[in-house]
Amino acid sequence: MATDSLELRAAYILHRRAYSNTSLLIECMTPDQGRLPLIARGAMGRDSGGLQPFVPLLIRWSGRGEVKSLGAYERGAPPLSFSGERLFCGFYINELLLRLTRREDPQPSLYGLYEATLLQIAGAVSLEGLLRRFELRLLEELGYGLNLLLCDAHGEGCPVRADQWYGFDVESGPVSPAPRDGVRVSGRTLLALDGGGALDETVLREAKGLLRHVLRHYLGERPLKSRELFTRL
């Protein structure tokens, strides 16, 4: 259980909603305490503009139980300004963290990945490529890293070939022969995802379908609100 914070700690707000007539219930991402639910008492009646997603914060908290009280807070750096597709990308990665992480599970490297991705969203040329890399790294950080290089063919681990097509099992990886229905992905795409280079349009299209399949396995059938909202616009 997270202990009281006597010093200001780095944090980002993943989500906020009204809590009674005057307060906010916020979900924060922190490097050393993981995801924390906090009540910002009286925040609806004072300046709550700083208590927004994508604002680097320094915060204190106190209290017993799972949901604690937010104490002093201040901006740690200028807020990140997103609009259009970039704003929805930010909401998307926030929702993934809300749905896939546990409260009070410290993961400093995941916090670093999240912060670095926010900074990259502001200037990324390929948002699709950035999101696919984030999804892969997120799965790794959570212990769900994907096998992209070895195909389980006839019970043997065979290296993936760029010129072949595969099915994909979330837990074991590429499957050959590729099924007629369901997820199909080329060896070229699997090899590109395992590497660190740029992803072309064909690879991005296949990677999007593959990672949606994988994330659905861990998220369940309840759809992502950020994805639904984006498709309506």
**Higher local confidence (pLDDT), 118 or 178:** 118
Residue 137: name the closest of 122, 120, 152 by CA: 120
Residues of the chain within CATH 2.40.50.140 domain(s) are: 1-140
How far apart CA 123 and CA 145 sit, in angstroms, is 27
Mean pLDDT for 81-106 is 94
**Locus of tokens 């992209």:** 148
Per-residue pLDDT of 12-50, as tens digits, reads 999 999 998 889 999 999 999 999 999 999 887 665 668
In this prediction, residue 198 carries a pLDDT of 82
Whole-angstrom Cα Rg for the chain: 20
**Do residues 162 and 191 touch, judged by C-beta distance below 8 A?**
yes
Mean of the per-residue pLDDT values of the chain: 90
What DSSP character marks residue 43? G
**Higher local confidence (pLDDT), 198 or 58:** 58
In this prediction, residue 16 carries a pLDDT of 94
Is the pLDDT reported for residue 58 higher than 50? yes
In this prediction, residue 88 carries a pLDDT of 93
In this prediction, residue 1 carries a pLDDT of 57
Identify the weakest region by mean pLDDT among 25-29, 161-165, 175-179: 175-179
Residues whose CB falls within 8 Å of the CB of residue 35, separated by 6 or more in sequence, listed in order:
14, 27, 28, 29, 97, 98, 101, 102, 103, 104, 105
Residue 58: name the closest of 121, 13, 104 by CA: 13
Determine if the peptide bond prior to 37 is cis (ω within 30°): no
In this prediction, residue 227 carries a pLDDT of 77
Q: How confident is the model at residue 94 (pLDDT cuts 50, 70, 90)?
A: very high
> pTM higher than 0.85 for the full model?
yes
Pair of tokens at residue 109: 């490297």
Domain 1-140 fold: OB fold (Dihydrolipoamide Acetyltransferase, E2P) (2.40.50)
Pair of tokens at residue 144: 């769900």
In this prediction, residue 44 carries a pLDDT of 79
* DSSP helix, strand, coil percent of the chain (3-state; round to 5): 35, 25, 35
How far apart CA 231 and CA 233 sit, in angstroms, is 6
**Do residues 38 and 69 touch, judged by C-beta distance below 8 A?**
yes
**Do residues 185 and 227 touch, judged by C-beta distance below 8 A?**
no
**Do residues 149 and 194 touch, judged by C-beta distance below 8 A?**
yes
**Higher local confidence (pLDDT), 204 or 182:** 204
